[in-house]
Amino acid sequence: MTEQNPAAQQSKSLFYMMLFMGIMMLFLLFPDLRNIIGYYVGFVLDPTIGFGNAYPVITIILAGFLVTVISTVIRHFMTDWVKQAKDREASSALNKELRQAQKDNNLYKMKRLQELQMEQMANQGNVMAESMKPMMVTMVFFFGIFAWLNNFLYDPMTFEWCAFGYSQHFHLFENFLILPHFILVYMLVSISFGQLLQKALKYYLFKKKLEEMGG
C-alpha cells in the first residue's frame, strides 16, 4: 500500500497539471468564452474597481491585489507549512550526514542514507500533489478576474494613455522588451505584494505555533 502511494501521488499531480493546462488552453484559444466569463465577473468588479474606465492603472493594481490576496490566503490555509518546514529540516540533516559518510568513506552508512534519500525523493510526489490543490482553487478566481481585466482594458472607453511612475505618457499596450506595460504593472504588484503577504501569514502561523508549544 505504501509502495504504491508515491506513484499514486505523482499521477494525481500529473492530473492536476494537465487539468490546469487544459483550462488555460481553453481560456486562450476560445476568446468568446473568455469574454463571456469576463462579462459576468464585471457585474461585481465594474462597480467596485472599474472607476468608469477612467483610472486603468489603479484598476490593474487593485485587480493584482485582489488576485494576490485570494490566491495567497487560500494557499496559506490549504498548505501544511509546519510539515514542509520539518521535511526541509530532515532533508538538510540527511544530506549533511550523507556528505560526512562520503568523506569518511563509510560505505554501510552511505548505502543506508541513500535508501532514506530515495524514500524522501519519492515522498516529494506527495508534496507536489498537495501543492497543486490550492492552485486548482485559485485558478477559478485568477481566470475570472483576468478575463474581466482583458475586457476592461480593450474596452474603447478605457484610457490607453496615462501617467505612471517615471513617465507622464505611459501607454498600456506598448511593449517593454516583450511584455505590454499593463502586464508588467500587474506582475509587479502581484509578485511583490504576494511575497510580503505570504511572509506575514507564515510569520503569524509560526509565531502562534511557538506560543502554543511554550505555553
pLDDT for the residue numbered 169 = 61
Amino acid letter at 111? K
pLDDT for the residue numbered 213 = 73
Kindly give the confidence (pLDDT) of every residue in the chain, 215 residues in length, as a single tens digit, with 9 standing for 90 and above. 344 455 555 566 666 677 777 777 777 777 888 889 989 999 999 999 988 888 888 888 898 889 889 888 888 887 778 777 788 888 888 888 888 888 888 888 888 888 887 777 767 666 666 777 777 778 888 888 888 988 888 776 666 666 555 555 666 666 666 667 777 777 888 888 888 888 888 888 888 877 777 65
Residue 145 · residue 41 · CB < 8 Å: yes
pLDDT for the residue numbered 9 = 57
| Residue 176 backbone phi and psi in degrees, to 5 | -110, 110
pLDDT for the residue numbered 2 = 42
- Using a 10 angstrom Cβ sphere, with 0-12 exposed, 13-18 middle and 19 or more buried, the burial of residue 13 is buried
pLDDT for the residue numbered 44 = 92
C-alpha cell at 173: 499596450
Beta bridge partners of 89: none
Per-residue exposure over 155-185, b if at least 16 CB sit within 10 Å of its own CB, e if not: eeebeeebebeeeeebebeeeeeeeebbeeb
pLDDT for the residue numbered 3 = 43
pLDDT for the residue numbered 48 = 92
pLDDT for the residue numbered 12 = 64
Judged by DSSP in three states, 104 sits in helix
DSSP alpha helix (H) spans, 56-106: 56-78, 81-104
C-alpha cell at 72: 495567497
- What distance in Å separates the CA atoms of residue 57 and residue 159, rounded to the nearest whole number? 10
Provide the whole-model pTM.
0.69
